[in-house]
Amino acid sequence: MPARVVFAANAIEHLPREIEQLGARRALVLSTPQQEALATDISKSLGQRSVGVYPHAVMHVPIEVARKAREEAVRLGADCVVAAGGGSTIGLGKAIALESGLPILAIPTTYAGSEMTSIYGLTEAGIKKTGRDPRVLPKVVIYDPFLTVDLPAAMSITSGFNAIAHAAEALYAENSNPITTMMAEEGIRALAQGMPEVATHPRDLDGRSDCLYGAWLCGSVLGTISMALHHKLCHVLGGTWNLPHAETHTVILPHAMAYNYAAAPEAMRRIERAMKTPNAASGIFDLMKQLGAPLSLREIGMKQDDLDRAASLVMEAPYYNPRPTTRESICGLLDDAFFGRRP
């Protein structure tokens, strides 16, 4: 990957050096409103190299938010953006970079993985469009496990399953290769090891480091190869019904694995080895249950009446998938996910 990665407890201290090495002098620091204090601390630590904080990132990068942030970057004469937060904040950085070409320094504080991809998303009139552009791939990524200890345990767990989903689908992608396969299996292993630790000791650095290392691997494979049915389902459910991103990935994952189980035996053996479970689909479900994750679409806001329409939307423009998809089979998968049945 062309990005430079700095990974260490307290790695945030190296941000001024990293900005200097990029030849930049005027950083605009981005965050969500919830993480403004972090952005302000970062801005202060940069002294004259910071032109200010823009704490207005929100989920799915609405075009109006992107436009205002782009205007602010121009007004302040920013020559780089520092995106400190999860996928929403890094997504806003990407929206700025897409238009201006400004380099992004990403400081991820969740496990979503956007920092490792050249994929961007923008939402206009309620429709989320995604694309790929090399300009939006961060130039530097700083992984600092200390910055993740405040991510609440429940969010950490769903974010971890979001990362596992990237790796699980990478294992049966149509364009997978031996290197991404190795990275995907190791990413799942690291997260499956770290997540129980994070659930019980959220401030412990070992579990946090395992999860962040897993997120790096899972984000890298997401950025390298194409995804399948699981990501299509989550894109439709998140985009059309505004379901929460990481929770949706969590609830769908065991059912997507059950759906593809017989069609992707090698991928399933790797997931089973990484998670130390005899069955990839039920093993993921059982870990979700053990860690207190949501298990059903109904508990995260989906209406049963909308399942049919969701299946139709998935079938309108299906992704490649190892097992062929039909409207009926997708309805069955969604019904299982709606009620949270153990696969």
Residues that bind ligand NAD (CB under 6 A): 32, 34-35, 59-60, 85-89, 91, 109-110, 112-114, 117, 119-121, 147-148, 150-151, 155, 159, 222, 245-246
Which of 211, 217, 215 is CA-nearest to residue 199? Answer: 211
d(CA 238, CA 103): 28
Nearer to ligand NAD, 256 or 268 (CB): 256
Contact 158, 246 (CB under 8 A): yes
Tokens found for residue 166: 């990237």
Shortest Å, Cβ 217 to ligand NAD: 14
Q: What phi and psi, each to the nearest 5 degrees, are found at residue 87?
A: -60, -30
Cβ-based nearer residue to ligand NAD, 120 or 319: 120
Q: How far is the CB of 221 from ligand NAD (least distance, A)?
A: 11
61: Cβ contacts below 8 Å, ≥ 6 apart: 88, 91, 92, 94, 95, 120, 121, 122, 123
When the beta carbons of 62 and 340 are compared against ligand NAD, the nearer one is 62
Of 107 and 311, CB closest to ligand NAD: 107
Q: Compute the least distance from the CB of residue 91 to ligand NAD, in Å.
A: 5
Cβ 55 to ligand NAD shortest distance, Å: 9
**Least gap, CB of 245 to ligand NAD (angstroms):** 4
- Closer by beta carbon to ligand NAD, 86 or else 214: 86
Residue 47's region, left for phi above 0, alpha for psi from -120 to 50, else beta, is left
H helices present in the chain, as ranges? 15-21, 36-46, 63-75, 87-100, 153-171, 178-200, 205-224, 229-241, 245-260, 265-275, 280-290, 307-316, 327-339
Distances (CA, A) of 313 to 57, 140, 156, 249, 268: 28, 37, 29, 17, 27
In this structure, what token pair is assigned to residue 301?
């806001």
| Shorter beta-carbon distance to ligand NAD: residue 155 or 331 | 155
**Rounded CA gap, 187 and 204, in Å?**
19
Query: Which residue number, 97 or 192, has a Cβ lying nearer to ligand NAD?
Result: 97
Point out the residue whose Cβ comes nearest to ligand NAD.
Answer: 87
What distance in Å separates the CA atoms of residue 172 and residue 167, rounded to the nearest whole number?
A: 9
**Relative orientation angle of helices 265-275 and 178-200, to the nearest 10 degrees:** 40
Q: How far apart are CA 15 and CA 209, in angstroms?
A: 19
Nearer to ligand NAD, 148 or 224 (CB): 148
Question: How far is Cα 211 from Cα 167, in angstroms, rounded to an integer?
Answer: 13
Shortest distance (Å) from residue 246 CB to ligand NAD: 4
With H, G, I as helix, E, B as strand and everything else as coil, classify residue 125: coil
Supply the minimum distance, in Å, between the C-beta of residue 238 and ligand NAD.
Answer: 7
Least distance from C-beta 20 to ligand NAD, angstroms?
Answer: 26
Closest to ligand NAD by CB, 60 vs 323, is 60
Residue 89 CB, shortest distance to ligand NAD, in Å, is 6
